[in-house]
Structure 1
Amino acid sequence: MSQLSHRSTALHQLSARELGDAYAAKELSPVDVAEAVIERIQEREPVLNAMYRFDPQDVREQARLSEKRWATSTARGVLDGVPATVKENVARAGIPMPSGTALPNPKVPAANAPITNRILEAGAVILGSTTMPDWGMLSSGVSSLHGISRSAWNPAWTTGGSSAGAGSAAAAGYGPLHVGTDIGGSIRLPGSWQGLATLKPSAGLIPLDVPYLGRAAGPMGRSVDDIALFMSVLGQPDVRDYTARPYPAQDWAGSIEGVASLKVALHTDANAGSAVEPEILAAVQQVAALFAQAGATVQTLDPFITQDMLDRLDRFWRTRSWADYRELPAADQAKVLDYIVAWCTVGSSFDGAQTIRNFGAIDQIQQATIAATSGFDLVISPVAPMAAFPAEQPMPVVDPLATMSHIAFTVPYNMSGQPAATVNCGFTSEGKPIGVQLSGPVGSDAAVLHAARWYEAHRPDSASPLWDTLD
């Protein structure tokens, strides 16, 4: 990258690859970039409220060490000195993990999560931890601890969740690299509602120290290239994830010249949850049309989950959270967000047999998703059926007794363990970002990102976020 190109772009707006190239060419210093990002965070945080922990002095010290490595030709790779954040439920040694709740005495991990270790080993500068809603069970930035996190596009809009702060941090330019977690759409929903590129990876590809059925962690950023670059660091095995399966090496840096060889499914009827809003449907259909015009074989994918499956999964999650809630002292129960209390209390009404039946929805969704999508290289679908809702709402549907009606396109891929990426594909008439979900077979993460990168490069200008307008 030339000095002219990075001088004409604010430092906090530069991509991870641009920063790495500029450090290697000695055109930029990690210290200067860190100062620019610190200034950006301090400027936007009073409104966005995206950061849970942010220590500018620690950021400066990390940047100084990176600057020294680049000066002595001991840099740890292209991400050395590149700013990054992690969600607050990703362990950082000595940093409390309240999981979005105002409960006293949160867990303080003695060791880093595998994700944190990989980021630090790569020399990236961890800016801090980003916010999440109570227990990660809301698709917004509403938290009993943090208050309300807000969209970088418009503070009246939701961040999406539960990787709420990560979504706003990425969109606002708090450095280029961010990590979220996802059990039903918590990476992809903020990705869709804030115009981001994201990846919910194959099960176990990014190792977790606390694995759980359907749970994944993955990268969030402004471009597919950045999240693919981040995957080269994050997607390394770690023995602490005892559920992980071995994966062959993937070509994260690769790209494709065309999509004519791809067999693509277009999935716009989830058969569960809310109906897809017309503007979102049209934007996603245009993505499929672009693939078809470029020679891909595109056919409609019939619905493969049912409302009953989604209802039972939601009921199981309620019971799981009720089991945690009921163990709290009464004084602590009062600190949990009212919406979460109302939502999880329903879980107390199911007996053991009903809970086992509800748990069985996970296997049924997994089986149905893999069977329906097995004949395709790529499935194109909406991320969510609706656009961003008001920031103060805990969920798109405000009734805590209603099933989560916005995750019918995302949650199947958590249960099946298949990779699912998002890319911005348009805007509503109100200017709200619209994301498209691109998913593929288990272990095809790099191939999914190759397709996402192709779309990102060929999408119409009207579908491309203009990040400098958020300054």
Structure 2
Amino acid sequence: MTTTEPGTTLADLSAAAMSAGFAAGTFTPLEVLADVHARMDACEPVVNALHHRDDARSTTAAEAAARRWETGRQRGGLDGVPVTIKENIARRGVPMPSGHAWVEMPVADHDAPITQRLEEAGAIIVGSTTMPDWGMLSSGVSSLHGITRSPLDPTLTTGGSSAGAGAAAAAGYGPIHIGSDIGGSIRLPCTWLGLAGLKPSFGRVPLDAPYMGRCAGPLARTMADVALAMSVISAPDDRDWTRLPALAVDDPRDEAGADFDPAGLRIGLHLDAGCGVPASPETLAVVAEAAERFRAAGAEIVPIDPFIDDALLADMDLFWRVRSWNDLRGLPIAEQALILPYIRAWAQGGADVTGTRLMDCYHSVQEIRRRTVAATADLDLVLSPVAPDAAFPAEQPMPYPDVSQPMGHIGFTMPFNMSEQPAASVHAGFTDDGRTIGVQIAGRRFADGVVMAAGRWFEAAAAVPAPQRFDLG
């Protein structure tokens, strides 16, 4: 295939490099935005990462940012930096379809906390990114959007449900892209697209509709950009009744992670989730190699036995099916018919669940939380696969075709949603056929800064080559 090396236009710069260029007068936010718009024009016909694009609104914002930089009144490290937000993050006046087709599409009447924090920091929101129906697929397949495809290889999935966010990051629609994650929806696109991303501690990034396990966080090409985004979007907001205090990020532009030293740390190595699909040999080899880098730097590597089983995974899956069935039956008949058939069939599995059985599932969710905390309590970090295998074909809604099968690919990611612990994905290697593999780095609850610093350290220590984009014109 023909490829394009990263860094060929201003759109490919890191947020820190953009800020440095703005400060030096080398280029302006308007010039950066023009390159981002050109990249979107070239890639969108194939990649299909954007649900909503508003060039006029982003240009007005970039003009204002340029004036601030000219007069020394910039608002910080994201002023003038292009970003995207997932379509389920409210932006006043922008449709919020949640990935599925509608007879009458809802439009946001307010800005979510994330949207407000980004705009207060001067970030240029260039668009809202796609997701699959209700965010309940690990792909870019949607009844509304069609298929969102990998910029690395359009025949492959982006992962999901932050499909468009991952595609936008990999395609170079600016450095920072905000997604959401209830079982792996940030980390799965990261591993299948060669990106860095963070599922923060629960409550770390305020939401206007919090829900058990759901978090929002950044996807980017480097962990330094993830950390910079977190320094903005983690500001407290009272609309989220689960919110945590503001995140303290020391020097978020420290790309080398110089504030992190593995020496003396106890780091778990988790290679068997105990449930779902076993990790492939290639995936295990990449994660083991990552662990060896930490060990060589002085960390103690501690093997972790499986702590989740298939019964708990099945109950988690059923709990979500009931929730989605409730959403489905609440829609008018005409709109029920528009939902992706795979999701309709998946949600149907929750149709006849009794209240007693649903409580069993709820207790299983709490058991997942208990076991995850117990298994990791005496460790500083945990290294594991993100997903059992590399990216699958873009047309598949899930890694497996059987809709009755529980979500067998989230055994490594989902437990940290339920335990409320931070978990990152960092690009760590490739399969023999060139598909990307990430390593998950999880930490103790509230230790988001430590997880991101470990990710930055690993990026510098491993120096894994960045994946190359497919030539999309």
TM-score above 0.5: yes
Q: Tell me if the contact between 1:197 and 1:223 (Cα under 8 Å) persists in the aligned partners.
A: yes
| Deviation of 1:9 (Å) | 4.1
Q: RMSD of the TM alignment (CA)?
A: 1.4
SS at 2:437's partner residue? Answer: strand
CA contact (8 A) 2:386 2:440 kept: yes
SS of residue paired to 1:341:
helix
> What's the counterpart of residue 80 of structure 1?
79
Could you tell me how far apart the structure 2 residues matched to 1:370 and 1:106 are? Answer: 40
Question: Is the Cα–Cα contact under 8 Å of residues 232 and 252 in structure 1 kept in the other structure?
Answer: no
Match of 1:427 in 2: 430
Report the residue type matching 2:197 in the other structure.
T
* Match status 1:140 vs 2:139: yes
In structure 1, C-alpha distance between the alignment counterparts of 2:437 and 2:84, rounded to whole Å: 24
Aligned to 1:282: 285
Greater RCO (CA < 8 Å, at least 6 residues apart):
2
Answer yes or no: is the 8 Å Cα contact 1:172–1:470 preserved in 2. Answer: no
What is residue 9 of structure 2 aligned with on the other side? 10
Quote the offset at 1:378 in angstroms: 0.5
Match for residue 4 of structure 1? none
**Aligned match for 2:409, one of 406, 411, 416:** 406
> What is the deviation of 1:230?
0.8
Q: Secondary structure at the match of 2:405?
A: coil
Match of 1:230 in 2: 229
CA distance in 2: counterparts of 1:417 and 1:317, whole angstroms: 17
Query: Matches of residues 352-431 of structure 1 in structure 2 within 5 Å?
Result: 352-431=355-434
Q: Indicate yes or no: 2:45 matched with 1:42.
A: no
CA separation in 2, counterparts of 1:275 and 1:316?
Answer: 23
Q: Distance in 1 between matches of 2:467 and 2:247?
A: 36
Tell me the equivalent position of 1:113: 112
Contact 1:193 1:387 in 2 (8 A): yes
2-structure distance, mates of 1:117, 1:43? 29
Give SS of 1:302's match.
coil
Structure 2 counterpart SS, 1:349: coil
Amino acid at match of 2:373: I
Matches within 5 A, 1:14-29: 14-29=13-28
Cα pair 1:252 1:446 within 8 Å, conserved: no
- Shift in Å, 1:11: 0.7
Match of 2:4 in 1: none
- Whether the 8 Å contact between 2:381 and 2:441 is mirrored in structure 1 is yes
2:32 matched residue in structure 1: 33
1:257: Cα distance to partner? 5.3
CA displacement, residues 70-103 of structure 1 (integer Å, 9 cap, x when unaligned): 1111111121000000000000011110000002
Q: Residue 245 of structure 1 corresponds to which residue in structure 2?
A: 244
Q: In structure 2, what is the equivalent of residue 464 of structure 1?
A: 465
Match of 1:444 in 2: 447
Secondary structure of the residue aligned to 2:46 is helix
CA contact (8 A) 2:384 2:412 kept: yes
Q: Quick one: which amino acid aligns to residue 418 of structure 1?
A: Q
Separation in 2, partners of 1:247, 1:68: 29
Counterparts of 1:76 and 1:250 in 2: how far apart (Å)?
17
Instruction: Say if 2:270 and 2:306, in contact at 8 Å, map to a contact too.
Output: yes
Are the structure 2 counterparts of residues 444 and 257 from structure 1 closer, same or farther at C-alpha, using a change threshold of 3 Å?
closer
Task: Give the secondary structure class of the aligned counterpart of 2:179.
Answer: strand
Q: 1:123 to 1:467 in 2, by over 3 A?
A: farther
Q: 1:178 aligns to what?
A: 177
Whole-Å separation in 1 of the counterparts to 2:98 and 2:209? 13
Q: Paired residue for 1:321, among 324, 344, 347? A: 324
Report how far residue 246 of structure 1 moved. Answer: 3.2
What is the distance in 2 between the residues matched to 1:314 and 1:235?
29
> C-alpha deviations, 1:139-185, integer Å up to 9, x for none?
00000000000001000000100000000100010000100000000
CA distance in 2, matches of 1:447, 1:245: 16
Aligned-pair CA distance for 1:349: 2.2
The Cα of 1:336 is off from its aligned counterpart by: 0.4
1:382/1:436 contact within 8 Å kept: yes
Question: What TM-score do you get using the length of structure 2 for normalisation?
Answer: 0.96
Cα offset for 1:56? 1.6
TM-score, length of structure 1 as denominator length? 0.96
Q: Report the residue type matching 1:428 in the other structure.
A: T
Q: What residue is the counterpart of 1:94 in the other structure?
A: 93
Residue 464 of structure 1 and its aligned partner are, at CA, apart by 2.3
- 1:52 is aligned to 51
Q: Deviations over 1:161-216 (max 9, x none)?
A: 00000001000100001000000000000011000000000011100000000000
Contact 2:152 2:468 in 1 (8 A): no
- Unaligned stretches of 5+ in structure 2? 1-6
Partner of 1:5: none
Kept in 2: contact 1:262–1:296 (CA 8 A)? yes
Q: Partner amino acid for 1:49?
A: N
Distance in 2 (alpha carbons) for counterparts of 1:247 and 1:88: 24
2:237 aligned partner, one-letter code: D
For 2:116, the aligned partner's letter is: N
- Find out whether 1:349 has 2:352 as its counterpart: yes
How far apart are residue 356 of structure 1 and its match? 1.1
Give me the whole-angstrom Cα distance separating, in 1, the residues matched to 2:280 and 2:137. 21
For the Cα contact (< 8 Å) 1:134–1:340, is it kept in 2?
Answer: yes
| Alpha-carbon distance change, 468 to 154 in structure 1, aligned in 2, over 3 angstroms | closer
1:335 deviates by: 0.3
